Structure 1
Amino acid sequence: MSLKKFGLPVIVASAVMIPLGVTAPAEAAVEHSSKRVVGYYTQWSGYDRNFLVNDLVKNGTAAKLTHINYAFGFLDETGKCVSSDAWADYQRPFTAEQSVSGKADEAGQALAGNLNQLKQLKAKYPRLRVNISLGGWTGSKYFSNAALTKESRAAHVKSCLDMWLKGNLPGSPAGAAKGVFDGVDLDWEWPASEGAPGNVVRPEDKQNFTALVLEYRKQLNRLSWHTHRRYDLTAFLPADPVQIDRGFEVRKVFSALTFATTQGYDYHGAWDPVTNQQSAIDGPAGDPSTAEFSSQVTIDAYLKRGAPRSKLVMGVPFYSRGWTGVGSTNNGLFQPATGGAAPATYEAGYEDYRLLKAQLSKFQVFRDNKAGFAWLYDGTTFWTWDDPIEMKRKARYISDRHLGGAMIWSLDGDTSDGELITALHKHLH
């Protein structure tokens, strides 16, 4: 099964005041008149990529988003929430030119780093919601420990709400990051299934994940009572129906979530010896895989298992997967790749859209309009290709199926003028 890298990870309704004397409902979803547009902003974007929170303003992305998932917070072995990079999260100072507000950070201020920039972004775009994403591909090792018992679940959730929502960061003044986050996004990859090597996996993860979601909802409702704010609870869910059935009680989980995002990418990649699509809407003709992976398969799987359409937010990629040493039969599609992963800027076999677009003159673009995907090929190197045309196609699919919106992994992959987010946003109805 070609799911070695399944799960790179990325959410949600406008803030609603809860009147005093009214208990927050068990299901904290708030309906929107338009689709959700959820984007992952990664903690590491500000390093090699030099993609800062302020770039979301410069390229027009922030105005088109309804939600940002900040990725990722981690869990320690006991299940307690911790920062995986304190410098990036809340210590790094930004210059006036780098800052969303246009003002330089000052020595000794209570909050710096990405969290302060997200706080400034929310001030600039008051309807924007920001959630802390926990886990991810490299941060899910100890989720099973956190979810194991009633006591461990309660302690885990308490630590996460204290750190991220109440804003009590280690070594910072009490409440320094209060108000930055509007909720929690659970990115456990994956309950009862192998994710990254070394992850703790237990057969009882499936039921424990449901119990963990319910514990989050309970403690978020309690926090709402004190703050008079509505908090989001979302989850990132796998594309593979086998992993869905192994790790998720779909109907029960969705009843407590504001909404969930589904993996809409990494259906195939350089871990496969043969080239293929990574984000097709439907299964393509001639696919040699033993099992079909496509967005339609994934969405249908969740609907069949009781997920409401309005709570299904379909993932789309702002990056490509690539192979090299690929023969010319079928324009490189479904062909052996003798060279393995294609060379790339940050990770072999993975390239941001904006960087691959700059090399587009070397490639020919091919599309499968029936299955809904595209690829690039230059005679030896093959890249999956999600450009504005494919974003439009995906947006129309989401709209036609009356789904809850689109989720992007990840925002740093777009161009300086926001080509992909513009095409996606324009065609979601």
Structure 2
Amino acid sequence: MKFSMLSVAAAVVAVATAAPLTKRAADNNNVVGYWVPWGDVPVSALDMSKYTHINYGFGVLWKGAASPATITFDRYYDGDNMQALVTRGNAAGVPILMSIGGWTGSQTFSTVAASASLRKTFIDNALVFVRKNTAGDDAENPNGWNMDGIDIDWEYPGREGAVCNTYSPQDSANYLQLLKELRAQLDLEFPTKRKLITAAVRVQPFDDASGKPMSNVAAYVPYFDWISIMAYDIMGSWSATTGGNAPFNTPPSPGDPFSF
């Protein structure tokens, strides 16, 4: 998701806000909106009937945090919006998920996924978003946000994406392990109500250890409730040649594609 927008610690990248749609999808489809605090539509103005799910963007991983596994967001500014969105979502029957990562918010995903101890810390930090708050509505540091799941926007496993992001040939294998552990902990803490795991992914499959797109991603299927393919930012103002931002059919070259 390549845009130059500043937010918490200058580490967030913007996606489309939850803008109006003309029709809600059929029951077997999902219409997912991303709500971001710098957008033009306040939480109070959202038409919740247009969406099946809404992701709050973003909690970010950045190198300046106390730990690579720290999920950074503004508890005061974001917190009010998060609470308002969850309240509206609950009233409308629209699940709310926390999206973690983004174009420049994926700086330490690789580091976290490679370490058993950091994975554990990250998962505990992520689960704060889906736990119920028992510290009171006016608590300075709520211990839960009562969301319905976690959306992972790692850009990208096995490749750099933004120049600030760490990456490794082992990212995709480590990502799978992170997903296994996240799913296990969610199911352990919430045995009667499934908490969702979703992801924003690039057009091609995750890279394998050789740096090539994987030929088989079946191992990931049990851990995602669904994925959203970022079929945009294929070409843009940053590209060496002119091309469509979200073309129906195009090769990954010429130019400088970001979601391929």
Shorter-chain TM range is: 0.7 to 0.9
Deviation at 1:68, TM superposition (A): 0.5
Q: 2 CA distance for matches of 1:242 and 1:256?
A: 15
Q: Partner of 2:59 in structure 1?
A: 73
Q: Is contact 1:217-1:256 (8 Å) kept?
A: yes
Deviation at 1:174, TM superposition (A): 6.8
Q: Partner of 1:43 in structure 2?
A: 37
1:54 alignment partner, SS class:
helix
1:140 aligns with 2:130: no
Q: Partner of 1:82 in structure 2?
A: 71
Q: Partner of 1:115 in structure 2?
A: 82
Deviation at 1:259, TM superposition (A): 0.8
The structure in which a higher percent of residues are helix is: 1
Q: Is contact 1:134-1:184 (8 Å) kept?
A: yes
**TM-score (normalised: structure 2):** 0.77
Q: 2 CA distance for matches of 1:82 and 1:242?
A: 23
Query: Structure 2: where are the runs of 5+ without partners?
Result: 4-12, 17-25
Q: Is contact 2:204-2:213 (8 Å) kept?
A: no
**Quick one: structure 1 residues 288 and 43, their matched pair in 2 at CA, closer, same or farther if it must change by over 3 Å?**
closer
RMSD (CA atoms): 3.1
**Quick one: structure 1 residues 221 and 281, their matched pair in 2 at CA, closer, same or farther if it must change by over 3 Å?**
same
Q: 1 CA distance for matches of 2:252 and 2:167?
A: 30
- Amino-acid identity (%): 28
Q: Is contact 1:166-1:175 (8 Å) kept?
A: no
Higher RCO (C-alpha under 8 Å, 6+ residues apart): 1
1:71 alignment partner, SS class:
strand
Query: Structure 1: where are the runs of 5+ without partners?
Result: 11-31, 91-112, 299-429
1:221-246 Cα offsets, whole Å, 9 max, x none, are 11112xx3210001111124585864
2:199 alignment partner, SS class:
strand
Q: 1 CA distance for matches of 2:219 and 2:125?
A: 24
1:180-228 Cα offsets, whole Å, 9 max, x none, are x100011111112011122111221111011111111011111112xx3
Matched length? 232
**Quick one: structure 1 residues 166 and 185, their matched pair in 2 at CA, closer, same or farther if it must change by over 3 Å?**
same
Q: Is contact 1:192-1:247 (8 Å) kept?
A: no
Deviation at 1:274, TM superposition (A): 2.5
Q: 1 CA distance for matches of 2:173 and 2:212?
A: 10
**Quick one: structure 1 residues 239 and 202, their matched pair in 2 at CA, closer, same or farther if it must change by over 3 Å?**
same
Q: Partner of 1:218 in structure 2?
A: 184
Deviation at 1:172, TM superposition (A): 2.8
Q: Is contact 1:238-1:263 (8 Å) kept?
A: yes
Alignment of 1:185-264 (within 5 A): 185-225=151-191, 228-240=192-204, 243=207, 246=212, 250-264=217-231
1:53 aligns with 2:47: no
Q: Is contact 1:266-1:279 (8 Å) kept?
A: yes
Q: 2 CA distance for matches of 1:288 and 1:202?
A: 22
**TM-score (normalised: structure 1):** 0.49
Q: 1 CA distance for matches of 2:114 and 2:213?
A: 14
- Name the larger-Rg structure: 1
2:244 alignment partner, SS class:
coil
**Quick one: structure 1 residues 246 and 68, their matched pair in 2 at CA, closer, same or farther if it must change by over 3 Å?**
farther
Deviation at 1:80, TM superposition (A): 2.7
Q: 1 CA distance for matches of 2:97 and 2:149?
A: 5
Q: Is contact 2:172-2:207 (8 Å) kept?
A: no
1:241-269 Cα offsets, whole Å, 9 max, x none, are 58586476621112211111111110100
Q: Partner of 2:21 in structure 1?
A: none
